[in-house]
Structure 1
Amino acid sequence: MLNFKKLVLNNKGFIAFMLGMLLFRSAVADWYVVPTSSMYPTLLIGDRVVADRLAYDVKLPFSDVILKHNADPVRGDIVTFSSPADGVRLVKRLVAVPGDVVEMRDDKLIINGQPLSYQAVATKVELTPEYVGQQLVFNENLLGKNHQIIQMPERQAIRSFGPVVVPEGQYLMLGDNRDNSADSRYIGFVKRELITGQVKRVLFSLDSGDYYLPRMNRIASGV
């Protein structure tokens, strides 16, 4: 016991720093390493992103208990959340809010009766690594917000569903790599309290396919 007390006293500065970092990551801002290709071409495997934990709610540290609402999530936001299926933290695009009527037909979304606009992208973008099938890139206009998505017509995936109504207090999430993402089509709607932050920027990125060298063009890049 004396040795333990001595150890604490000798390292109290370091212990206080580590506790402060844990509190900061739990309540203010957290960083997240993108582990899969489900958000290509927007987020790449190896991206280190920052999730703003105060973007929507103030939560009791180390919990999902909401103390105060700051703002409502909106369509097009990229968010981190705990999966309602198994609790694993995921990053996806929020495409529908409470009360929205959502339908998908052949990978194309219809929200509140309005079909989204899709335009083919001819310029080169980051495609899913190690996938040998066809990959098509489109600009998806999410009711006024543009972003790029990938479709894989040769891959087995859920390409049609609904129409469904997004329940109160819940949200519908999809990956930008539309046919290669375990999102709300598989795990269901996501409750607001499970949303852990909003992602707006990539801090830096390491390319595992190139000896973990940094991708210089992604340092401090917006998403």
Structure 2
Amino acid sequence: MLLLRVDRVGACVEAIDPHAALSVDEYARWSRFASVRRRRQFLAGRQLLRQMLSAQVGAGEGAIAVEPGGALRVATPGLWVSISHSGEWVAAAVADRPVGVDIEVPRPGRDLSRLAESIGSLSGGSADFYTTWTLKEAVMKRWGMGLDLARMRALGAQPIDPQHANAQTASLELDGRSPLLYLAVAADGVGDLSVESTLSWCRETVAHWQLIGAHPRSRSRG
């Protein structure tokens, strides 16, 4: 099982009471966010993930804990989860194996050259940068780690057929317009990925990858 869902933040938080929807620890964390936008993103991620857990495995209740390294953990044995948000979009993944997901909405006018260099992006182009960034951050999440530019820079990847891939990247669009967001999922057997989204895949941008780089440590569940 390897499931991914992408949705709008607004659709996930509409008519949702944070006090009722979140656990005590989650509510305390939600309350510490200063901006309304960040609170909405946090709540949307938790709601989307709980909906997926409830629909797929009947385990939508209970806290979604954060481990010291930043990995998410749920109480159901044998399940791994991951959440990402950018702008007004949120993504969540549920799997029976370690998984990491990352999405990025391009920001017009952003200077990407320094960031591209910091993560070892091959060119200064926007598409290459966002593909590289999402790929490497998804891997960090799969490994149960937070943002680590040094490890991201050292991590390599080469194209490979879907059957042998452990990461997938793509861009998604709305109504045939230019890419709205970039997405990456890192997991063994990523060719089995099942996706639910109101966005359309830009098929020509779908790529499968084999990671090159040592796993820093065994990944904990969550």
Bigger Cα Rg? 1
**Higher percent of residues as helix:** 2
Q: Same fold (TM over 0.5)?
A: no
Of Structure 1 and Structure 2, the greater strand share is in 1
Q: TM-score, normalised by structure 1?
A: 0.25
TM-score (norm: length of structure 2): 0.25
